[in-house]
Amino acid sequence: MPNFDDRVTRELHRAARPPAVDIEGVAADVSRRRYRRATHRRAGAVAAALGMLIAVSVGLWAVQSPGETGDIPGSSPSATPSPSLEPSTPGQDLGLGFDVCVFDRLRNVAFQEGIDGTAWTAAPIIKGACADVGYQPQADPMVVVDIDGDGIADAYTEMPCRYGCHPSPFGATDLNGDGRNELIVNVQPFSIMDYMVFVITDDDDLVVATVTGDGHATNGFREGQPTVFSSGGDEGNAESVRCTGWPGPDTQITQTTSYHPVDSPDPTEVGVTSLRLTGTTFMVVSREDLRVPPGQNYTGHSTEPACGLDWYRNL
Amino acid sequence: MQGPRPNDQIDEIAIREFIAVDYPRVVAAVRLVAGDGAEDAVAEALARAWERSAGGTRIETLAAWVTRVALNLATSRWRHLRVEKLARPRLARPEEEPISSADDRLDIERALTTLSRREREVVVLRYYLGMDVADVAATLRVTGGTAKTLLHRARTKLADQLSELDTQEANVRAELR
């Protein structure tokens, strides 16, 4: 369609209206912005260092001041009140238009190149304030993101939790090869870590990645449900994540789970599922259910970083 | 657009060169994709490029980097508005009137609003900035195949929209006669 291409080109040039440039003015503006960013970074670093210094000082003071009864530090009941589930702490304004109780925050998340974004997990305020520990048992948790690095939230979504969860932003990596990073959220910190994937869509929305098509029930991948990857292990269970083809459009994430019955003659059950993310949905591209005879070890797990993330970092 | 600058660090001379040569077209391109706030987004992207380069990050092509980051920043402003809109019902604030009317826009501007953000980006980079598909893909950090698919979808939608707007205009003219 050469005529059509010409028409689009011509009309875009008519519509574009490039601004007249005051080189000195723009250069001064850019310099100011750069200076402001550098100052902001230095202030942040100083604040962090001061915070750490204060925390260390308080810790040292606590160790060196055993209290009036002369009890041995560490063995005495703490004078500090326990964190309360009763709401008492004010919420935070992340720029959503309403205050939230923040569970956790991850800074310097590169959702897009050149930008240090932030991700939060939070919950809407209930009873007018937040509990000291941040955990809001009655409220649905939510994931909030600042994509452009100005510290103000750009998008949020409520987080599906089938049971009580205490989510925490874990990292960002490009799982669908579209050049923009997805946010990975640790759903629950346990000996087995569960991770959900959140995608920032072309329509400027933040959505949880779900499974499309036939899933793989062995590893918990069910159509229409959030995709949950797991790593770690306990009592005969082992779960691991591997990636192939990353970074790029051919990225496949492989979830391996195994259950080795302890002190039992039964075989080890293994499930291996490979998935590919397209847009906001994961499609299972291969699935395997294996049985490893008693006395043999399954060696298919890997604890190496996968898709640019160390999925075992918190274990 | 300038070709790749094989420099290790961006200095004030490179910044001024960019402002003199590329800035107006990049601002216009960002405005076509994201509307108001383009100059602010490009200046901010330029400041970040300068800061990152001083911090040791190698930026191969300043114009491509600034275009990409400015597009990201500008569309994020839309996200702010969207978040505010989503949050408004919780605050029970009345809906505000839209800032501008679509009536004074050209057909192509109206047609662009029917595309997704990514589709608008490929159209503007391809037809306004004159990039080939490989450069569009490199600028948006997607594969060549993805860029081609987006471009194909965008052209189909634009053709439909422009044809519809042409028909509407022809009908209006016929009624006026």
pLDDT for res A53: 54
- Please give the residue that has the higher pLDDT: either B74 or A212: A212
Which residues of chain A neighbour B128 with C-beta distances below 8 Å? 9, 12-13, 16
Which residues of chain B neighbour A23 with C-beta distances below 8 Å? 16, 19-20
pLDDT tens for chain A, 315 residues: list them: 668 889 899 999 999 888 888 899 999 989 888 887 777 655 555 555 554 555 445 445 444 544 433 333 333 444 444 555 566 678 888 877 778 888 899 988 888 777 788 999 998 877 777 876 545 555 678 999 988 787 788 888 888 775 567 789 999 999 988 888 999 999 877 788 899 999 988 766 789 999 999 999 999 999 999 999 999 988 788 999 999 999 888 899 999 999 988 777 889 999 999 999 998 999 999 999 999 988 788 888 988 999 999 998 876
Confidence of residue B117 (pLDDT cuts 50, 70, 90): confident
By the 10 Å C-beta count (0-12 exposed, 13-18 middle, 19+ buried), B29 is classed as buried
pLDDT for res A139: 66
Tell whether B157 is within 8 A of chain A (Cβ). Answer: no
pLDDT for res A133: 54
Torsions phi, psi of B45, nearest 5?
A: -65, -40
pLDDT tens, B132-156?
999 998 888 777 888 898 899 999 9
Q: Token match 């974004």: residue?
A: A117
Q: What is the dihedral of CA B132, B70, A159, B94, to 10 degrees?
A: -120
Tell whether B16 is within 8 A of chain A (Cβ). Answer: yes
pLDDT for res A295: 79
Q: How far is A134 from chain B (nearest CA, A)?
A: 21
- Please give the residue that has the higher pLDDT: either B110 or A229: A229
Q: What is the dihedral of CA A120, A121, A125, A130, to 10 degrees?
A: -90
Q: Measured between alpha carbons, how far is A256 from A264 in angstroms, rounded to an integer?
A: 22
ipTM for this prediction: 0.80
Tokens of A123: 């919950």
Strand A228-234 and strand A268-278: the pairing is: unpaired
Q: Measured between alpha carbons, how far is B140 from B60 in angstroms, rounded to an integer?
A: 14
Cβ of A142: how many Cβ atoms within 10 Å? Answer: 19
* Residue in A19, A38, A178 closest to B146 by CB: A178
Q: Which of B39, B50, B65, B76 has the highest number of chain A CBs within 10 A, making it the mutation to test binding with A? A: B76
- Answer yes or no: is pLDDT of B87 > 80: no
Torsions phi, psi of A309, nearest 5?
A: -125, 145
Helix, strand, coil abundance in chain B, percent, nearest 5: 70, 0, 30
Q: Measured between alpha carbons, how far is B83 from A95 in angstroms, rounded to an integer?
A: 8
- Please give the residue that has the higher pLDDT: either B24 or B83: B24
Q: Which of A1, A6, A11, A181 has the highest number of chain B CBs within 10 A, making it the mutation to test binding with B? A: A11
pLDDT for res A287: 96
Q: Which residue in A has a C-alpha nearest to residue B151's C-alpha?
A: A5
Q: Which residue in A has a C-alpha nearest to residue B93's C-alpha?
A: A97
Q: What is residue B101's DSSP assignment?
A: -
Q: Which residue in B has a C-alpha nearest to residue A116's C-alpha?
A: B48
What number of H helices and E strands is found in chain B? 8, 0
Tokens of A164: 């009580």
Torsions phi, psi of B158, nearest 5?
A: -60, -45
Residue ranges per domain, chain B?
1-95, 100-177
Which residues of chain B neighbour A26 with C-beta distances below 8 Å? 19, 23, 43
Interface of B with A in 111-150 (CB under 8 A): 116-119, 123-124, 127-128, 130, 140-143, 145-146
pLDDT tens, B47-67?
988 888 888 888 888 999 899
Q: Measured between alpha carbons, how far is B28 from A18 in angstroms, rounded to an integer?
A: 5
Q: What is residue B116's DSSP assignment?
A: -
B100-177: in CATH 1.10.10.10:
yes
Q: Measured between alpha carbons, how far is A131 from A115 in angstroms, rounded to an integer?
A: 32
Tokens of B176: 């006026």
**Do A1 and B156 contact (CB within 8 A), yes or no?**
no
Contact between A34 and B25 using a beta-carbon 8 Å cutoff: no
Tell whether B153 is within 8 A of chain A (Cβ). Answer: no
**Do A202 and B34 contact (CB within 8 A), yes or no?**
no
H/E run at residue B60: none
**Do B172 and B107 contact (CB within 8 A), yes or no?**
no
Q: DSSP string spanning chain A?
A: -HHHHHHHHHHHHHHH-PPP--HHHHHHHHHHHHHHHHHHHHHHHHHHHHHHHHHHHHHHHHHH---TT-PPTTTSPPSSPPP-SSEEE--B--SSSS-EEEEEEEEEE-SSTT--EEEEEEEE-BTTBEETT---TTSPPEEEEESSSSSS--EEEE---SS----EEEEEE-SSSSSSPEEEEEEE-SSEEEEEEEEE-TTS-EEE-EEESS-BGGGTB-BTSBPEEEEEEETTEEEEEEEES-SSTT-EEEEEEEE--TTSSSPEEEEEEEEEEETTEEEEEEEEEEEEPTT--------S-BTTB-TTTT-
